[in-house]
Chains A and B, each alone.
Chain A
Amino acid sequence: MKSHLWIALLIVGLSTSVALQRWIDEQRGVGSAVEEALYINSGKTLKRASLGFDGLIADLYWLRTIQYFGGKSQQIKGDLNIGNVTEWKLNLLEPLINITTELDPNYVSAYRFGSLFLPDLNPESAIKLAQRAIADNPADWRLQQDLGFIFWKLKRYQEASEAYLQGSRLPDAPKWMEQMAAIMRANGGDRETAKQMFFRIHETTDDPTVKKTSLSRLQSYQAEDEVTFLNRLLAGYREQKGSCPASLPNLIRTLQPNALQQLKQAGMQFDESLTPLDPHGFAYTFEAATCTVALANDSTIVRWRR
């Protein structure tokens, strides 16, 4: 046989097998579902079998954790609510993080990821994970911050305060850790404390998912504050003029220029017509009948449940 026949056979064989594989994948649904199985669920067993390659296996499990988390978020298209991952059915998140951290007890990113998301799924496991993180990395104050966050989420403010205080005594701990301990003890359950918590998490994490989640939470608080503020403005307008303004830009135009400037400096956004926008850039909706402002229905600002 001549050489061009072999080349033709090679091309035909490969291209046909690609098409065939695509058809088989479609029939079997390969790649469409997040794998919900762990063949080995003990980090200690894996460590023994790793022949000293435990750090590399920990990385592989960490990548799988991220893929698992990302896969789940893909499945819940359009209804993303990182604020409450209970609905995500993240059954493997806890074992995956446990395996990663048992293989590599200094994997701080994995511990911190678990501390943010596990409290929604299994609070007691989240506490155990954070305590193990602290035992394995006693000099890292960020892990005490995470333990404080978990206790805060569970409304155990005294323990949260204690965790912040312990963390504040560690080398390199920032001054605000001590302040957080005091705030937590005095006003653990209030909104301002919550904002402080997420602000600090956003500031200290280098994990993009954690950063995104905490920013999302902060933007949600900001939107709530802005809605409250605009409603208060509307109430004042109505009291003064005896009626509701025709639109939100009309309301904003009644403000003094320096007041508007201050609002902009505080982070409030407006479009060209002076319609106030939420932190994601969606215009707040104005209900003339009730003379109230609310988040737009299509706004991507996350509505949180605590």
Chain B
Amino acid sequence: MKVVPIALNTFRESVRDRVLYNLILFVLLLVGASIFLGELSMSQEAKIIVDIGLYAMRFFGVLIAIFIGIGLVYKEIDKRTIYSLLAKPLHRHEFILGKYFGLCLTLFVNSLVMALGISLALMFVKGGADPMQIKIWPTAYLIFLELMVMTAISLLFSSFSSPALSALLTFFLFIIGTRSADLKLFAATLSSGLVKVVCQSLYYVLPNLDNFNFIMATAHGNTPPLQMVGAATLYAVLYISALLAATVMIFQRRNFK
């Protein structure tokens, strides 16, 4: 299985590219919030720490997924290193999967450190152990799943278009993904049969990123229900599999001559 060395190499490459430097910004954000929010937020410090921490995890994660994801394939083609790679006994699907899991590993490390940071910040503002420190983890896991979906989307676009266009398309899908419930609502209010079917189809075909967003509930001290975590995991696995399959199919048809 050549996926693992490619994945590890992609991870090493992102570390070399100083991708994890965003963690410094994240820590500064949390430390600043922990110190100053006690004065400002009137007994809502813990809620705001959770909000800032988890939303920052999502924000930085999406930026990494989009901007590193779009360069995964393109960089190899641009630097012409793809030729030496494909000349080896390496299947194209192994290359794509390796690149994908390599970036996922980067995002995993990033998310893990951020979740630990949130737990520590909560310990600081609460002056000791607090149930909220545990409650953030299922939500952090769901954010990581969302980032995995976003990485698969950016990889799909980067397999056939330029980085700028890939970034734009991925960002569009992110916007649509966060508001996909509107498509369903729109379809429900329509009377025209064809448009209704198109909207309904788009609702099911486009990624529904709301499935992974339980930040608000977590900030209020609730954890996502177990069956929702399970369903979101299954949804992510199915959706990512479909996206990777499409990416592999496109990449296998690409002519690098």
Contact = CB atoms under 8 A, between A and B. Distances in A.
B220 A52 contact: no
Nearest to A103: B216
- Interface majority SS (helix, strand, loop, mixed), chain B: helix
B76 interface: no
Contact of B43 (A56, A106, A206): A206
A56 B51 contact: yes
Contacts of A106: 216-217, 220
A59 interface: yes
Contacts of A66: 40-42
B114 interface: no
For A51, A55, A66, A207, the residue with the greatest tally of chain B CB atoms inside 10 Å of its CB is A55
A52 B44 contact: no
Contacts of B179: 48, 51
A209 B217 CA distance: 25
A9 interface: no
A154 interface: no
Given A56-B55, A59-B51, A104-B216, A51 B174 contact: yes
B55 A55 contact: yes
A54 interface: yes
A207 B213 CA distance: 28
B43 A51 contact: no
Contacts of A109: 42-44
B41 A63 contact: yes
B97 interface: no
A53 B51 CA distance: 9
Nearest to B146: A52
Contacts of A59: 41, 44, 47-48, 51-52
A51 B178 contact: yes
Contacts of A209: 42
Interface in B37-85: 40-44, 47-48, 51-52, 55, 58-59
Contacts of B43: 109, 206-208
A56 B40 contact: no
B234 interface: no
B40 A67 contact: yes
Nearest to A110: B44
A53 B216 CA distance: 9
Nearest to A50: B178
Interface string A40-56: 00000000100111111
Chain A interface secondary structure, helix, strand, loop or mixed? helix
B167 interface: no
Contacts of B47: 59
Interface in B4-61: 40-44, 47-48, 51-52, 55, 58-59
Interface residues of A, number: 20
A215 to B, nearest CB: 15
A63 B52 contact: no
B51 A55 contact: yes
B168 interface: no
Nearest to B59: A53
A45 B47 CA distance: 23
Interface string A58-69: 110011001100
A207 B42 contact: yes
A51 B52 CA distance: 15
A106 B50 CA distance: 15
A63 B178 contact: no
Contacts of A51: 174-175, 178-179
Interface string B200-215: 0000000001100101
Nearest to B52: A56
Contacts of A67: 40
A59 B47 CA distance: 9
Contacts of B103: none
Contacts of B220: 106
Nearest to A208: B42
Given A104-B216, A106-B216, A106-B220, A52 B178 contact: yes
Nearest to B182: A48
A119 B228 CA distance: 40
Contact of B44 (A48, A53, A54, A62): A62
A203 B213 CA distance: 34
A178 B125 CA distance: 36
Given A52-B178, A54-B216, A67-B40, 4 more contacts: A51-B178, A51-B179, A109-B44, A208-B43
Interface of A: 48, 51-56, 58-59, 62-63, 66-67, 104, 106, 109, 206-209
11 contacts: A51-B174, A51-B175, A53-B55, A53-B59, A55-B219, A58-B216, A62-B44, A67-B40, A109-B43, A109-B44, A206-B43
